[in-house]
Structure 1
């Protein structure tokens, strides 16, 4: 496995024709063209809050990445539609934890721990990666088997005396003529001794009343386990408790958010036994009323756990139809008991990639047909 990962990394690096280190001094309040390659263009700018951002455009739209703040994909807009959840955060801000500036499209979670910590856990919500400050960030471009791309990558080194020592290297790539983004990460154990590993790719789409989920996962209570504990963000009202009861009786209720459905504070399901196609890829599709879709696909063997996270009320709207992961989000101690905390040997590297984005109606129909084939 390790040799394959190293070979894949060398292949990726050979495909890069440009790798430029980004300096915070290059980012100003005005959006500036920094690099272009054919239809691909990279603009640097700062939000009013001072947070640096790279906007990568192609002929279909753009993705905005925060190179120094968690390497979050803050937003993605393709064919005129923003894909990210709707929250009270209109821009990223300089804060210590992600929940104080949580309005992104894609977020990396982990790597030593992940999920909502119990009172006995000693880690933060979703671990150290979500909004960590990156040591180095780069703009890259090149060509691989999917075509020409431009992207943002970086390096964050976690090094604690007498503890773990690893390097995280995320990447987000936008391709020519494509409405999909490849979001990947490498986590290299730089120590000689093994380290615990937990990872989740937190993908936050925007819900639409009447839109429908299709998935390579059976709609059964065994495959979709409802979390019954309720986070104490606020006191749940009777309408939410009634909804939670309906979901417990029939998980397919979550296939569609109805016009009057209120998911407050949230509905969470653990997705177990996700199926892959002939190449091992899982497929999750959220088809909107106009026929277009939000799409997430990934290797179901590498990220063999999943979560559905749904919020829908006046202040917050998010359709996390699948958050691909190595573990469920109940915190380190609970996941350790389940056997979901992986061990990464010394000097070895974990690699995962999730493809997310927008599909036009005809593309969505093709994926829907594929899902139906897998589920036969």
Structure 2
């Protein structure tokens, strides 16, 4: 049996209020001074703050008391109109009329309309059999000469595991085909001395640094670093203490999947534990990686599962890298995000290396 709790903006007040007291979960509601509503979900091994009406961003995430999110520009959500006005969330959905930055001929905002889009509905489901809790939302979007769609993001929590599942379902509600782009954007805190590993080839052909226009690098202290990363992109896979990446480094990454269709990425900490992301390669056949190490912004999106590469909508569509949804059709994807202990990390790394052919299959 599934129990459903509908959410209303009036439930969110400056004083934190418990909405659900459950043997496995505590869910409370609060409204920040900025006016942004937030849900706090607490379980045995996970604590998350979700913005149910604002793109269903996962603002913060902690496993067993250890926060995993980036050091962003704002400690609490700000009420600006764009994503960059409140840049501090652990996770946000990107798309659908553009991901990354707009290119020539584009009008979409940075990372599209999804990150700060207002949800039409929000609710919580608790599944009695599995004891899982899921925060869900729905946004019905319609704009003349662009299209109509329904986006339904979700965040699912399971008891007694240091993992969450983030996903989204998109349905074309219009009468014409809907070209769309999608990217998931999880933002971890980089750990000095950590190593990035993933289920793909460690070659320059499969790991490509995005090179910004030369004018953007003029006078940049990172010009030499970016030149070094372009010639040897694997230099980025270990976080050297004191090594700034300012303003950023962005890579296109080719992945391979396991027998069940999952691709895997780890940030392995010096103590052997790791941050882990697994994504469905069939749904998101491309992936990006973003790193910024500055005094005010310290973040690594160890993988950004995506339908397209880094070009804006016009560039990607011209290259044939923008899928379409026929009327009524549904597209969906999901990501598993967690913290692994040392033994789990070794098992996952062995799987990653087998997928990529870096060791013999047992």
TM-score, structure 2 length as denominator?
0.95
Contact 1:297 1:355 in 2 (8 A): yes
Deviation at 1:36, TM superposition (A): 3.1
How far apart are the structure 2 equivalents of 1:50 and 1:243?
A: 41
Does the C-alpha gap of structure 1 residues 230 and 212 become closer, same or farther in structure 2, counting only changes over 3 Å?
Answer: farther
Aligned twin of 1:69: 54
Deviation at 1:129, TM superposition (A): 0.5
Which residues in structure 2 correspond to 1:1-376 (within 5 Å)?
17-142=2-127, 147-229=130-212, 237-238=220-221, 240-272=222-254, 274-376=255-357
Deviation at 1:329, TM superposition (A): 2.5
Distance 1:234 1:206 in 2: 25
In the aligned structure 2, how far is the partner of 1:143 from the partner of 1:192?
A: 38
CA separation in 1, counterparts of 2:219 and 2:252? Answer: 21
Q: Compute the displacement of 1:266 (Å).
A: 0.4
CA distance, structure 1, for counterparts of residue 217 and residue 113 of structure 2:
25
The offset of 1:234, in angstroms, is: 8.6
**Could you tell me how far apart the structure 1 residues matched to 2:238 and 2:145 are?**
49
RMSD of the alignment, in Å?
1.7
How far apart are the structure 2 equivalents of 1:87 and 1:234?
23
The alignment partner of 1:148 has SS state of: coil
Task: Give the Cα–Cα distance (whole angstroms) in 2 for the partners of residues 233 and 93 of structure 1.
Answer: 28
**Long gaps (5+) in structure 2:** 358-362
Pairwise CA distance, 1:265 = 0.6
1:7: which partner in 2? none
Separation in 2 of the partners of 1:276 and 1:138? 33
Secondary structure at the counterpart of residue 248 of structure 1:
helix
Using the TM superposition, name which of 29-38 and 150-159 deviates more: 29-38
Aligned residue in 1 for 2:360: none
CA distance 1:236–1:57, change in 2 (3 Å): farther
Cα 1:233–1:242 shift into 2, 3 Å: closer
Separation of aligned partners in 2, 1:148 and 1:233: 50
Residue deviations 1:152-190 (CA, integer Å, cap 9, x gap): 111111112344010000000111011111001001101
Q: Take 1:231 and 1:266, find their aligned partners in 2: how far apart are those partners?
A: 14
Q: 1:231 to 1:324 in 2, by over 3 A?
A: farther
Figure out how many residues of one structure are paired with residues of the other and give that number.
357
Give distance in 2, aligned partners of 1:326 and 1:196. Answer: 11
Q: Where does the alignment leave 5 or more consecutive residues of structure 1 unmatched?
A: 1-15
